[in-house]
Structure 1
Amino acid sequence: MIKVFLVEDEVVIRDAIKNSIDWEQEGYEFVGEASDGELALPMILKEKPDILITDIRMPFMDGLELSRLVKKELPDTNIIILSGYDEFEYAKEAIKIGVEEYLLKPISSNVLLEHLGEVASKIHEKQKEYEQRERRIREMREKYLSFQKRDRDDNINSIKSSDADFDINSVDDLKEIQDAIADFLSEGIPEDVPHFVEALLDKMPREHFRSIILRQYVIVNIFATVTSFCKKFEDKVEKTQTEEIAHLQELKDREKLLREALATAESQEDIQTYMTQLLANALEVRNTVSDRRYSDVILAAQKIIKKQYMSEDISLNTVAAEVGMSASYFSTIFSREMNQTFVEYLTEIRMNKAKELLTCSSLKTAEIAFETGYRDPHYFSSLFKKTQGCTPKEYRASRKG
């Protein structure tokens, strides 16, 4: 069943879209909703929807920026943008990002279903092509393994013969694979290791796994990339840090197993097993050694937020850039360390300041909204009531009473 995620800051519109369609009957699974791009991003990365429906104008992260981040992290996600603005620049940027549909609001459930159906058809077609490709690969592998089992000696001689003509300069895609591994080790999470390894190996030509020399060349390059990444943590581990030492020793054990793969790995599945073990352990090393660095990053982020909360331009993207992380990785770290999302924390800081101004100043609600980073007084009042349980006016009256 195709998974759908909805992002829309207007509650009435969001509820109308969610409740006017019988998702299951139409062949969809409604996996989540959010009122803003920053709130939505970690949920989307977790749920991995097939289709993302998003508004274009939202207070913290707009639909275009959300689409860019989602396409970077989940390139197979199909995006439908809903907009009340029939402007060429928006549509042109959406096309550039790779958005499937750009629809104008208001939109009926029937019209939305038509467009969802078109996108779903493309998804089913891609899935069918993928399944056919996988079936062909399995058939080729089975034939190859059958041949290997039936006449192993002749097969080895055949492989050696073909390896004699191997030109190492022809393996052009390994640099791209090394870069992908390095990026993942820097910003990936342990839960995604199996999916990353599977996707990475699927991109590699089948001949890399049939030839002994090619298999060994691939393994050595993966091994070197991971080892190079992990070595930069060795100097940071003190002798008293027993947990880190244990992880480094475990990593060395994995490296020993990987070296053994040079002699024993005979298929993509073998290499996939070694890679999964190695990358998972490398991330454990990274996370354990980096926990203290993350606390410094969070402290720096908190200082930035408390200093810039009144600016309408502050966002997860701008703060992430200032602390030197990608937006998606910073979002994950912030939520994990703070037990609340970036937007929730920023809103909390702004609401506390708003309550202070309502109590200690004579500023009007619109002026307080402006002072706390909200250019729309109506949105500020709505958010205040949602988070504090009363309107700004009611809060001020209760303080005076």
Structure 2
Amino acid sequence: MWKLLIADDEPRIRRGLKKSLNWEELDIEVIGEAEDGEMAFLMAKELQPDIMFVDINMPFLNGLQLIQKLNSILPNCIVIIITGYDEFSYVQQAIKFQVFDYLLKPVDSEELQKIVKKAIAKLESSKSKAKYIEWMDAQLKQNLHTVRTNLLNRWMKGKISYEEVENQFEFLKLNIHGQLGIFIIKLSDKSNIESFINQWDKKLLLFGVQNIVEELVQEYTPNVIFKDTEDRLVGIVSITSTINWVGLSNILYNALKKYLGIETIINQKTIEESLGSIPELYQQMIKDIEKVEEYNPVVLAAKRYIDTYYYKQDLTLGEVADKIQVSQAYLSKLLKRELGHSFVDYLTKVRVEKAIQFMNDPTIKIYEVAEQVGYNTQHYFSTAFKKVMGVSPIGYRGGKGF
């Protein structure tokens, strides 16, 4: 039932209003009467009426003051003014406070019934709209993940513009901004994955991968994690710590290996341009991953070891060969053939790429960057950096504007 509260300082008027209509037939319950404005406000706050009859001339708090206060706590309550004052100034103020209707005393029962039925119709319409909005909200929450993933995949494939995606960011809770990084995780080692799927299910495996990744990137907020159309996991994250960000791919790889027993290929890049450049960067990263997938297993293992331990100042070809149990000569030959680089050149390339990520943070000094990527002197680092990039670390930073 709808709830009605009557506020009038005259007992006779209150009694007359209660008896004027068959409230039960109208599905209305009279939940209370108030003899002054303050009492009416307190009762309305507690009882939450759907409809209120309000007299303008009441003690302590007049009707218009009461309505103004009610608007802040009961914005959906329908207020009908019932008063003996037939002055245009009151009507003006009543309209300003969004009063539903205005009746003069003595109240005509037929007129009152007509207004009350109109009020009920509005309440029912509002209730239906509220239920529809609630249903839509529930549907959105239930399907938000799917809708968001579809939108992001269309963006990654260049099917929609960044402007179209940006317009949906708030609606789809895609809160990404600031210094950003992107990583892509591709499941590798087909035999291990097939073994896992035989016991469980591919969807379950991917769900496990995503759960572990989301747990590990919690500190990188805001972030967006989604699966692309080829079941690769894509993460776009806010970089809060450059040092942590540079080491993230190793953390993700080791965690997925430890907890799920699977091999993965992880490509990670800092987004150095605008958000609109992400699809192009994503496409290039996918090409890089596809190239890596074609490598000989020995090369892949060596590459992974170098990518993980590049920061060791004494990392050698012999150490890598020993770890993957092949001869140095054989490994050197494979690296040159498939990577197009000797061991030393590839290690230098990896160190310089990592150094560039560190150098995107202007608070990290050049000598600190050198130490982070495995060089014991800034001079040695500068020589290696210039050989790869054609410019010194200081010149590179100057070109970036810091």
Q: Same fold per TM (> 0.5)?
A: no
Query: Quick check: which one's helix share is greater?
Result: 1
Bigger relative contact order (CA 8 A; separation at least 6): 1
Give the shorter-chain TM-score range.
0.3 to 0.5
Query: Quick check: which one's strand share is greater?
Result: 2
Provide TM-score, normalisation by structure 2.
0.39
